[in-house]
Structure 1
Amino acid sequence: MRAAGTTPVIIGVGQSVDRIDAPDYQAWSAADLAAVAARAAISDAMARRDLAPYIDAIVTTRTFEDSGLEQPIFGASDNFPRSIAARLGIKPRSAFWGEGGGQSPQDLVSEFCERVAAGEFDLVLLCGAEAISTIRHAAREGRTLDFSESPGGEVEDRGANLRAFQDPLAERHGVVDAPIGYALAENARRAALGMTQADYAEHMGRLFAPLAAVARTNSAAAWDVPNYSASDLITVSPGNRWIADPYPLRLVARDQVNMGAAVVIASQRVADDLGVAPDRRVYLHGYARATEKPLLSRPDLSASPAARAAARAALKRAGLVPDAVATFDFYSCFPIAVSNVAIDEFGLSEDDPRKLSVVGGLPYFGGPGNNYSMHAIAALVPVLREAPGKAGFVGANGGFLSKYSAGVYSTIPRPWRNWSSTSLQAELDAVPAQPLLDGYDGPGTVETASVLHVRGAPEMAVVIGRTPGGLRFIARSKPGDAATIAMTHENDVLGWPVTVARSEEGLNLFVFGDG
């Protein structure tokens, strides 16, 4: 354990939003939004002295453009952390540009709490933002923006590092974007629970409707605050089109937003020196992280043991059980990301009175790229200040249930302890991967399936199945095979027989029955 003087403590949090339909819409860039949130976080500390000049490290999450997931059609900063620092009028001696993934905000908070505890830094600003809505809105209107910047200065650029999220065989068969990957896992979970499609849809609606209600209570910071019932979320309509079975639009993360969030971490000594009151301070009591096997190599497609293990470890390290936690925020890009941990691991109910999100979830509060969980932490801190001694949990997820980072927070002072996830990861890695065929010709049985829709129209069916010998394969519908796509969409095909043939292009193509 570390001496009390170097114990890291969160002293300030802030958020920003720039809605395109608001009277005061600014068309801010991501760097602008992050800077606005950072100023709010600095002010939130309520220090007796201006703490900005004492910031010795600035750390940012990665925008979707920086990660290669969006095209920078209007340009972007080539040093995102230093662009934000310039707006704040500060020159930290160190700058860090984090890797991609929704797990990164909690990862960065955990890491820089460790580094503050080690005496490497005294005062760290973490922030991030997305301006995807402004970029797409301007492009649709034919307007030109210039978000290009070269602020100069040293930065540790960690790169997008999306390799851990990639499964080349799955990608070759059309499992590229998040909705189809999560849909395959979601339908596998339904199969594991033995639920019908209708019953499972109702379960997803009941799970996410309370999140939408929470978003309405956060109207000042949320992107949108619609009044959705559980039925509204799962009933397909022109305004709630299909994305990937079993997901209509309202069950999917909304990344087209303009939002920023920031967190300030200080050592206990520096917080004292700056005059930050004890009742402004929140401590990280436990944390853990873990990485899952690639999608097709997972023995159980319906779950992420890595996410469950990381969440369980974070609570154990904080000395708590789920019933002792007052406030949660489970990453909610899709229903299974919540249910995998909240329900299947922690045993919570869909309508738990503590709520499963402190801000309102990615589809409703808003899903600003990799930075959503920074908003969760920024919202959790004031909640805990109002409930001294209570604990809050944040679970941050990246990829296709690929990486999970969990943190447990409280206002109770506690000497710092570093928590390593090395042995936790080793246990997960020791579990044998599911044997997998790259190419396959022959019969099989559907383990899980989904249909990808484009603008509401079915475009491609994908199945993951097992051979008679128990090996796993992936296959997609033949180009133009509308009948197979429709059959997959209109029926519960899990457990159905299929015949797979290898194409000249190296794809496994399936039809139902004996071909």
Structure 2
Amino acid sequence: MVDPRTPVIVGVGQFTERIDDPDYRGMSAVDLATAAVRAALTDTGVDAATVAEAIQTVYALRQFEISGPMPATLGKSNNYPRSVMRRVGGDPARVVLEPVGGQGPQKLVTEAGTAIAAGEFDVAMIIGSEPGSTARYFANRDDKPDFTEHVDGQLEDRGHQIHRYFTEYTANHGLTGAAVQYGLLDNARRSRLGLSVADYRREMAELFAPMSKVAAKNPFSSSPVERSVDDITTVTDDNRMICDPYPRLLVARDQVNQGAAAIMMSVAAARRLGVPEDNWVYLHGHSDLTEQGLLDRVDLGASPAAVHAAREALRVAGIGVQDVATFDLYSCFPFPVFVVCEELGLGADDPRGLTVTGGLPYFGGPGNSYSLHAIAETVAQLRDRPGQFGFVGANGGTMSKYSVGIYSTTPAEWRTDRSAELDAEIAALPTIPVTEWPEGPGTIETYSVRYDWPTRTGIIIGRSDADGSRFMAITEDADLVALMTDGDPLGAAITVRRDEKVNRATLA
């Protein structure tokens, strides 16, 4: 018998609507989350209204439309979690809106579990949704809906905190989207491995193609289409380059309509409400770690935080990687998958697979809430595989935060982790000095190319010849851009000069 305060996940739900569905509605963030919550309430095996009324705390993940200073084009609720709960008959004492970050779902499962174990409350729910498809569908239409909604009641809004992931300096130099940010990391990893552009693209495709097979069979996938390695590597009008080194099929699919929810309870509450024990899934291991700032990292092709998070969660769970039956590794781009696979000794062809959903480019990348789908699918699969373990790795920012959860139906007391201690160790790692405004010669350390801008532009992280310090630069120089798009500029000699708010580079 475990301590009655032990937290368990007792209900999970997912919902997806595709634009080519005959009954496509173009749903709002609130409506998408509501559909997922209703599924999660039903999944508990208990009367849905009874469970909804028992929920005391709701943690909500942000949509893209409320993840920055821009207004929501179709309107929004002033209190997203309470709008959802009002639709299902719940009135929680506390609702929370989490900051930006794809690690949020797993981080919140751990936060809720910690609070339940400490006796702060008995029943919690985590919700997330992303209406990117709706925003695109109505963008040029005259019959736009108005999703504006005002709900009274408490809301703990932790702020979007988007500015934690970039600075004015990095933004001015083109790091205003995830694809270009991760492009720098993947090209830095390619540099470390000494691979050619073509060989690395094939390696990325070989990593992701098996994920599409999973997506093709998942009823909740936004794009249930199996892709071959050649499909992914071949640049076409439909698979255009986004930011080097990524064609579209290596990029998270963010224009989706998806929702997910997970309900957690103490064992005592689950027994009191009559939730069947066959539904209970325990969190055996967990970790939440923060990486150094992007430009500070000694090796831009590595991620100590992700590596330590994976190790720590397995340690807390008391198992090894050989004991894991299912994995879901956050796959917005290849880099986050590569770094965890390297640490855990996993290959693209591991028979256990690297995703339970189908991965962000194929299943869908619903903003900050993707890993809530991964958790929901992991829970559902583990119920059919009693005693086995599932690993969920969730990533946020520019490999800025990494959270891991280890799940199983096997009963286990709540365990604490050493995340704070490990965070301090990561923060104390060596750093590379940055010179924001170098003048003169340097070399290209890593790079990306923005094909998504009106003028094709090279984005560079370089090293100054004078002192080895790091800097950023952009370029529209024809010769240098040609080398960056058609050749391999890693290690190339460049000349840098300041031009107001940016550094501009040319071939030396």
TM-score bracket, shorter-length normalisation: over 0.9
CA contact (8 A) 2:221 2:362 kept: yes
> Which residue does 2:129 correspond to in 1?
129
> Which residue does 1:491 correspond to in 2?
487
> Which residue does 1:204 correspond to in 2?
204
Determine the C-alpha separation between the residues in 2 that align with 1:87 and 1:486. Answer: 55
* Aligned: 1:460 with 2:457: yes
What is the CA distance between 1:3 and its match in structure 2?
6.3
Corresponding letter in the other structure for 2:480: T
Aligned counterparts, 1:142-161, within 5 A:
142-161=142-161
Determine the C-alpha separation between the residues in 2 that align with 1:323 and 1:435. Answer: 40
> Which residue does 2:324 correspond to in 1?
325
Determine the C-alpha separation between the residues in 2 that align with 1:70 and 1:416. Answer: 40
What is the CA distance between 1:173 and its match in structure 2?
0.9
Determine the C-alpha separation between the residues in 2 that align with 1:458 and 1:139. Answer: 24
> Which residue does 1:506 correspond to in 2?
501
> Which residue does 2:6 correspond to in 1?
7
> Which residue does 2:402 correspond to in 1?
404
Q: Secondary structure at the match of 1:361?
A: coil
Corresponding letter in the other structure for 2:29: A
> Which residue does 1:44 correspond to in 2?
43
Determine the C-alpha separation between the residues in 2 that align with 1:295 and 1:415. Answer: 37
Q: Secondary structure at the match of 2:360?
A: helix
What is the CA distance between 1:69 and its match in structure 2?
7.3
CA contact (8 A) 1:164 1:402 kept: no
Determine the C-alpha separation between the residues in 2 that align with 1:473 and 1:68. Answer: 26
Deviates more, 1:205-214 or 1:168-177: 168-177
Determine the C-alpha separation between the residues in 1 that align with 2:260 and 2:73. Answer: 23
> Which residue does 1:110 correspond to in 2?
110
Specify every segment of 5 or more residues in structure 1 that has no aligned partner in the other structure, as ranges: none
**Distance change (3 Å), C-alpha of 1:48 and 1:488:** closer
Aligned counterparts, 1:288-303, within 5 A:
288-303=287-302
What is the CA distance between 1:432 and its match in structure 2?
2.3
What is the CA distance between 1:4 and its match in structure 2?
1.0
Aligned counterparts, 1:409-448, within 5 A:
409-448=407-446
Determine the C-alpha separation between the residues in 2 that align with 1:242 and 1:69. Answer: 28
> Which residue does 1:67 correspond to in 2?
67
Corresponding letter in the other structure for 2:156: E
What is the CA distance between 1:304 and its match in structure 2?
1.2
Aligned counterparts, 1:299-378, within 5 A:
299-342=298-341, 344-378=342-376
* Aligned: 1:193 with 2:193: yes
Deviations 1:111-162 (A, max 9, x none): 0011111111111111110111012111133331111011111011111112
What is the CA distance between 1:321 and its match in structure 2?
1.5
Determine the C-alpha separation between the residues in 2 that align with 1:76 and 1:191. Answer: 44
> Which residue does 1:165 correspond to in 2?
165
**Distance change (3 Å), C-alpha of 1:256 and 1:371:** same
What is the CA distance between 1:43 and its match in structure 2?
0.6
Q: Secondary structure at the match of 2:96?
A: strand
Corresponding letter in the other structure for 1:137: Y
Structure 1 stretches of 4+ moved >6 Å:
none
CA contact (8 A) 2:312 2:418 kept: no
Residues matched between the structures, number: 506
Determine the C-alpha separation between the residues in 2 that align with 1:449 and 1:57. Answer: 44
Determine the C-alpha separation between the residues in 2 that align with 1:487 and 1:494. Answer: 10
Determine the C-alpha separation between the residues in 1 that align with 2:136 and 2:413. Answer: 46
CA contact (8 A) 2:316 2:416 kept: no
Q: Secondary structure at the match of 1:34?
A: helix
Deviations 1:211-256 (A, max 9, x none): 11110110x2111111210110111001000111110011000100
> Which residue does 1:175 correspond to in 2?
175
Query: Aligned-residue CA RMSD in angstroms?
Result: 1.5
CA contact (8 A) 2:11 2:279 kept: yes
**Distance change (3 Å), C-alpha of 1:507 and 1:230:** same
What is the CA distance between 1:57 and its match in structure 2?
1.2
CA contact (8 A) 2:2 2:411 kept: no
Deviations 1:184-204 (A, max 9, x none): 110010010111111111100
What is the CA distance between 1:388 and its match in structure 2?
0.6
CA contact (8 A) 1:48 1:275 kept: no
Determine the C-alpha separation between the residues in 2 that align with 1:69 and 1:250. Answer: 29
Deviates more, 1:363-372 or 1:227-236: 227-236
What is the CA distance between 1:109 and its match in structure 2?
0.6
Determine the C-alpha separation between the residues in 1 that align with 2:298 and 2:494. Answer: 21
CA contact (8 A) 1:443 1:467 kept: yes
Deviates more, 1:354-363 or 1:17-26: 17-26
* Aligned: 1:83 with 2:83: yes
Corresponding letter in the other structure for 1:361: G
Q: Secondary structure at the match of 1:232?
A: helix
Aligned counterparts, 1:260-271, within 5 A:
260-271=259-270
Corresponding letter in the other structure for 2:489: V
Determine the C-alpha separation between the residues in 2 that align with 1:287 and 1:167. Answer: 30
> Which residue does 2:238 correspond to in 1?
239
Aligned counterparts, 1:372-387, within 5 A:
372-387=370-385
Corresponding letter in the other structure for 1:124: A
Q: Secondary structure at the match of 2:192?
A: helix
CA contact (8 A) 1:439 1:506 kept: no
What is the CA distance between 1:345 and its match in structure 2?
1.0
Determine the C-alpha separation between the residues in 2 that align with 1:249 and 1:205. Answer: 11
Corresponding letter in the other structure for 2:437: G
Determine the C-alpha separation between the residues in 2 that align with 1:54 and 1:506. Answer: 54
What is the CA distance between 1:363 and its match in structure 2?
0.5
CA contact (8 A) 2:173 2:473 kept: yes
CA contact (8 A) 1:254 1:367 kept: yes
What is the CA distance between 1:372 and its match in structure 2?
0.1
